Amino acid sequence: DGGITQSPKYLFRKEGQNVTLSCEQNLNHDAMYWYRQDPGQGLRLIYYSQIVNDFQKGDIAEGYSVSREKKESFPLTVTSAQKNPTAFYLCASRNGQERFGNEKLFFGSGTQLSVL
Amino acid sequence: DAKTTQPNSMESNEEEPVHLPCNHSTISGTDYIHWYRQLPSQGPEYVIHGLTSNVNNRMASLAIAEDRKSSTLILHRATLRDAAVYYCILRGFSGNTGKLIFGQGTTLQVKP
């Protein structure tokens, strides 16, 4: 079955540590996104990539980094500079060939990151 | 992207229809209306979208006001599995990046 796989489901970070969240998709989608969700809140965009080897900052990129070396993969690193990393992280993708307005985002099941 | 306003929460009884409202008074002529829902501890999933005309699919119906300043997501027969947060989102042309802005949505509770 095609879809988006996020791992791990739960992750714990120690103070001063960098951690990397994995996101893999086998939908052959061009664009991929990382969102952050805090309890009871909507989603906020961290980074997005419309094509391999290219990515742009979203609304809350500080303290995060990404790479897009392969079409299928868009890992997110939460660096030690992110002082409040505890949140639910969601990865999404979309087919870049869809006509404007008709694009649908497909989401993974998320990674819950907590600070020890 | 233009802003949407939704009630924070709604309740419904199982097997009854549910009408989830969304106001978007500043919508522009090219903004599409998208609905997603998020089950507990899951990522959001696409429900339906439209531009001007009402839309139906296997999950729900979308009724769009004639002036497009509001819309309503209709679940024809709510089940317990429909308990989720429902997001109404306007998809505007922002350099065609495909970005969607998710607000707080409406938390739907379904009672047996």
Q: Give the gap in angstroms from C-alpha B36 to the nearest C-alpha of chain A.
A: 9
- Contact across the interface for A105 and B36, Cβ inside 8 Å: yes
Residue of A30, A103, A112 best to disrupt the B interface, most CBs of B under 10 A: A103
In this complex, which of A43, A101, A106 lies closest to B91 when CB atoms are compared? A101
Q: Give the gap in angstroms from C-alpha B82 to the nearest C-alpha of chain A.
A: 17
If residue B88 lies in a helix (H) or strand (E), which one and from where to where?
A: strand B84-91
Chain A CB contacts of B51 below 8 Å: 101
Q: What is the pLDDT of residue A101?
A: 80
- State which residue of chain A sits closest to B90, comparing Cα positions: A101
User: Do β-strands B106-111 and B9-13 pair in parallel, antiparallel, or remain unpaired?
Assistant: parallel
Q: Using an 8 Å Cβ cutoff, are A4 and A111 in contact? A: no
Per-residue pLDDT tens over the stretch A37-69? 998 888 999 999 999 999 999 999 999 999 999
Residues in a beta bridge with A105 = none
Residue type, A19: V
Q: What is the pLDDT of residue B28?
A: 87
Whether residue B2 is predicted with pLDDT greater than 70 in this model: the reply is no
Q: Cα(A12)–Cα(A74) distance, rounded to whole angstroms?
A: 20
| SS3 letters across chain A | CCCEEEECCEEEECCCCCEEEEEEECCCCCEEEEEEECCCCCEEEEEEEEECCEEEECCCCCCEEECCCECCECCEEECCCCCCCCEEEEEEEECCCCCCCCCCCEECCCEEEEEC
Q: What is the pLDDT of residue A3?
A: 93
How many CB atoms are located within 10 Å of the residue B56 CB?
13
- B96 falls in which pLDDT band (50, 70, 90)? low
Per-residue pLDDT tens over the stretch B51-87? 999 999 999 999 999 999 999 999 999 999 999 999 9
Q: What is the pLDDT of residue A96?
A: 76
